[in-house]
């Protein structure tokens, strides 16, 4: 927005009514502690600057991000200053002494003179900026010039996450979504302090990531999708673009190559991967459990080695997800054998394995993470994995699956684990959800969005909002802040912001929308 790069003269802002009905605690996820102060608010004005610490590229990036967020709506320049903070500035402050904030927390201090976000890392600063966005009037989220005043309630917020792993998942295999659509979802989830995006890159209906050694995976295996549409795939460049974009939003990409089931697209691309040497046709339906790599053939492990090597090389994040779910066409013994060969490959290429909970029966080493997707509160393999030291990522299908219908009337989505209301997605306790899995074993939560029935960004948004913010709050906020009646009010407060952002959300009757 070059037009906004110079400070503009004071505008009608001085006459506008105070639209900041929002209180300091109207934030999702609920902050750890909020101390509102009566009296004068901070106000972003035409000459407000953003102060960033000198010589820190990461903090500078957060400053530029804040500037880009607020320029279009305010029309202000919001110039970045690296000298000493001026009166009326928004200050990003890196202070190693604020140890209680950890690596991801922040402290926000707001009074009439100044708004300061303190953190020990740029990640904490970024989270503080997300809180700031929610405290400003919703019009601040607009992509075009709006009238202020741009006020922030005074007081102090001290905030840090309960769990390290707060994830969303997007299934780009059942229906393919373009790079721009993934970026837009990244922007939407980042505002709720989600820090991982798991991309379900391969399934029966499509292979969506370029692998140089096996080019037909994408040219053939990526050429369709559920319903028979054109499908698509990401080139390595495009994947890198997603990874980079996510990192500027403090989000780490977790790629999933689903093995050994959910592999019809690969089996259809290379006949030699099939036990009978016959390539099946491409598949555009929505059944699961019918495909399997041939666990007894050596070529299978050359294939998996190549794929994991290439995917690991293009992924800076720690985790590589190898699926492992619903392998109904692989024998029990074959499954264990397959996993015992594949797990060391992931580690050989420097990644930490992540897999759906079925893979726990192959006893992955203790640093591997196990993702629970069941609907029951007890699972023996998962408790045993926790005992062996594996961290557990919770995505219980009846609570956190964003693809489940809201009620019987919802047109989009599936209902095998639902329907799931907003309240049901919020009212559960990750720390004690699984019998005999202690809270210390829980890495965090994930909200997966499977795309059998979803083809557009509007449809993604409709299923994710407002349940994604519910899961995000469970991942971030302390148990002591878990409160449905407060959450539903705060959720209602987000509607205006979603409208400004063009997010097509579901108007659940459980929420007192304005
Ligand atoms: C189960 S959950 C699946 C997916 C489907 C989803 C639909 C899991 C690990 N596997 O293959 O898309 O249900 O809700």
Q: Which pLDDT tens digit goes with each residue over 122-140?
A: 999 999 999 999 999 999 9
Per-residue model confidence (pLDDT) at position 86:
85
User: Cα separation of 42 and 110, whole Å?
Assistant: 6
Residue 12 has pLDDT above 50, yes or no: no
pLDDT of residue 15 exceeding 90, the answer is no
Testing ligand 1's pocket by substitution, the residue of 373, 450, 454, 463 carrying the most ligand atoms inside 8 A of its CB is: 450
State the Cα–Cα distance between residues 447 and 188, nearest whole angstrom.
Answer: 13
Q: How far apart are CA 304 and CA 295, in angstroms?
A: 11
The reply to whether ipTM tops 0.85 is yes
Could you tell me which CATH class the domain 2-159 is placed in?
alpha beta
Number of Cβ atoms within 10 Å of the Cβ of 72: 17
Instruction: Tell me what the mean pLDDT of segment 397-424 comes to.
Output: 98
169-207: pLDDT as tens digits: 999 999 999 999 999 999 999 999 999 999 999 999 999
What's residue 10's pLDDT? 45
Flag whether pLDDT at 8 surpasses 60: no
Neighbouring C-beta atoms of residue 230, cutoff 10 Å: 9
Q: What is the pLDDT of residue 246?
A: 98
| Rounded mean pLDDT, 50-78 | 96
Write the DSSP string, 297-311: -HHHHHHHHHHHHHH
* Coil, strand or helix at 44: strand
User: Which DSSP string corresponds to 160-194?
Assistant: --S-SEEEEEEETTTS---HHHHHHHHHHHHTTT-
The residue nearest atom 13 of ligand 1, judged by CA position, is 450
Confidence of residue 225 (pLDDT cuts 50, 70, 90): very high
Strand-strand pairing, 90-94 and 115-119? parallel
Structure tokens that stand for 138 in this block: 């919703």
pLDDT at position 6: 46
Question: 344 Cβ partners below 8 Å, 6+ apart?
Answer: none
pTM for this one?
0.96
Q: Using 50, 70 and 90 to split pLDDT, how confident is the model at 152?
A: very high
Among 241, 326, 381, 489, the one annotated catalytic: 326
Residue 380 to residue 386: CA distance in whole angstroms? 10
Omega into 149 within 30° of 0, i.e. cis? yes
What's the token pair of residue 254? Answer: 């977790």
Cβ of 326 closer than 6 Å to ligand 1, yes or no, is yes
Q: Give the pLDDT confidence score for residue 437 in this predicted structure.
A: 97
21: pLDDT strictly greater than 90? no
Biggest CA pair distance of the chain: 77
Write down the pLDDT at residue 22. Answer: 72
359 pocket-lining for ligand 1 (C-beta < 6 Å): no
Give domain limits for the chain. 2-159, 165-501
User: Using CA positions, which residue lies closest to atom 9 of ligand 1?
Assistant: 325
Q: Which of 191, 201, 193, 192 is nearest to 242 (CA)?
A: 201
Instruction: Specify which residues 167 forms β-bridges with.
Output: 196, 446
Q: Please state, in angstroms and as integers, the Cα–Cα distance from residue 53 to each residue in 57, 131, 263, 494, following that order.
A: 9, 20, 49, 31
CA atoms within 13 A on the CB side of 360: 23
* pLDDT at residue 222, as a whole number: 98
Atom nearest to 288 CA in ligand 1? 11
Average pLDDT for 471-490: 98
pLDDT of 400 > 70? The answer is yes
Q: Catalytic: 326?
A: yes
Q: What is the model's pLDDT at position 39?
A: 80
Mean predicted confidence (pLDDT) in 389-405: 98
pLDDT at 114 over 80: yes
Q: How confident is the model over 90-118, as a mean pLDDT?
A: 95
Mean pLDDT of 445-467: 98
Give the pLDDT of residue 1: 35
Helix H or strand E encompassing 198: strand 196-200
Rounded Cα distance between 110 and 132, Å, is 10
pLDDT score of 9: 44
Residues contacting 416, CB < 8 A, separation 6+: 397, 404
Is pLDDT above 80 for 478? yes
Q: What local confidence, expressed as pLDDT, does residue 96 receive?
A: 83
Q: Average pLDDT, stretch 235-263?
A: 98
State the Cα–Cα distance between residues 61 and 165, nearest whole angstrom: 23
| Mean of all residue pLDDT scores within the chain | 95
Looking at the predicted structure, is the pLDDT value of residue 81 above 70? Answer: yes
Residue 329's pLDDT is: 94
Over the stretch 331-359, which tens digit does the pLDDT of each residue have? 999 999 999 999 999 999 999 999 999 99
Q: In whole angstroms, give the CA distance from residue 422 to residue 465.
A: 9
Residue 305 has pLDDT above 90, yes or no: yes
Query: What local confidence, expressed as pLDDT, does residue 95 receive?
Result: 87
Q: How far is the CA of 287 from the centre of ligand 1 (A)?
A: 10
Give residue 382's pLDDT. 98
pLDDT above 70 as % of the chain:
96
Judge whether 193 and 166 are in contact, CB under 8 Å: yes
Q: Which residue matches tokens 């907003």?
A: 422
From atom 11 of ligand 1, which residue's Cα is the shortest distance away? 288
- The protein residue with its alpha carbon nearest to ligand 1, atom 7, reads 450
CATH of 165-501, one of 3.30.70.1050, 3.20.20.80, 3.40.50.1220, 3.40.50.300: 3.20.20.80
Task: Please give the pLDDT value at position 214.
Answer: 98
């Amino acid at each position: 927005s070059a037009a906004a790069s110079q400070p503009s003269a004071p505008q009608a802002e001085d006459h506008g009514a105070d639209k900041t009905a929002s209180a300091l605690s109207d934030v999702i996820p609920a902050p750890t502690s909020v101390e509102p102060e009566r009296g004068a608010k901070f106000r972003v004005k035409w000459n407000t600057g953003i102060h960033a610490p000198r010589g820190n590229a990461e903090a500078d990036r957060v400053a530029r991000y804040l500037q880009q967020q607020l320029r279009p709506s305010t029309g202000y320049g919001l110039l970045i200053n690296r000298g000493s903070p001026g009166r009326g500035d928004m200050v990003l402050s890196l202070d190693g002494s604020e140890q209680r904030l950890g690596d991801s927390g922040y402290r926000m201090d707001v009074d009439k003179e100044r708004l300061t976000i303190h953190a020990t890392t740029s990640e904490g600063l970024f989270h503080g900026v997300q809180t700031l966005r929610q405290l400003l009037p919703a019009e601040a989220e607009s992509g075009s010039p709006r009238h202020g005043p741009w006020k922030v309630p005074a007081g102090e917020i001290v905030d840090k996450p309960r769990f390290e792993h707060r994830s969303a998942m997007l299934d780009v295999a059942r229906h393919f979504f373009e790079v721009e659509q993934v970026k837009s979802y990244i922007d939407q989830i980042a505002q709720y302090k989600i820090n991982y995006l798991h991309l379900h890159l391969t399934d029966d209906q499509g292979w969506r990531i370029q692998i140089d050694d096996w080019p037909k995976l994408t040219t053939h295996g990526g050429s369709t999708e559920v319903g028979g549409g054109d499908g698509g795939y990401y080139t390595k460049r495009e994947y890198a673009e997603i990874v980079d974009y996510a990192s500027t939003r403090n989000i780490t990409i977790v790629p999933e190559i689903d093995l050994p089931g959910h592999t019809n697209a690969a089996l259809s691309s290379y006949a030699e991967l099939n036990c009978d040497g016959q390539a099946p046709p491409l598949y555009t339906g929505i059944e699961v459990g019918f495909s399997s790599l041939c666990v007894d053939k050596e070529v299978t492990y050359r294939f998996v080695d190549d794929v994991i090597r290439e995917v690991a090389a293009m992924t800076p994040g720690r985790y590589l997800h190898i699926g492992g779910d619903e392998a109904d066409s692989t024998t029990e013994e074959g499954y264990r054998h397959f996993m015992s060969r594949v797990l060391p490959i992931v580690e050989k290429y420097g990644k930490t394995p992540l897999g759906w909970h079925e893979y726990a029966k192959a006893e992955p080493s203790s640093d591997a993470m196990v993702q629970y997707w069941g609907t029951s509160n007890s699972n023996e393999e998962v408790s045993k994995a926790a005992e062996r030291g594996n961290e557990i990522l919770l995505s219980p299908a009846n609570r956190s699956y964003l693809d489940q219908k809201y009620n019987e009337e919802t047109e989009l989505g599936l209902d095998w684990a639902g329907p799931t209301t907003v309240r049901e997605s919020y009212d559960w306790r990750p720390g004690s959800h699984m019998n005999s899995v202690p809270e210390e074993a829980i890495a965090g939560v994930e909200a997966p969005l499977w795309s059998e029935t979803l083809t557009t960004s509007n449809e993604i948004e409709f299923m994710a909002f407002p349940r994604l913010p519910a899961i995000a709050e469970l991942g971030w906020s302390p148990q002591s802040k878990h409160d449905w009646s407060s959450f539903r009010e705060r959720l209602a407060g987000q509607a205006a912001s979603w409208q400004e952002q063009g997010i097509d959300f579901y108007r659940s009757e459980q929420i007192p929308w304005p």
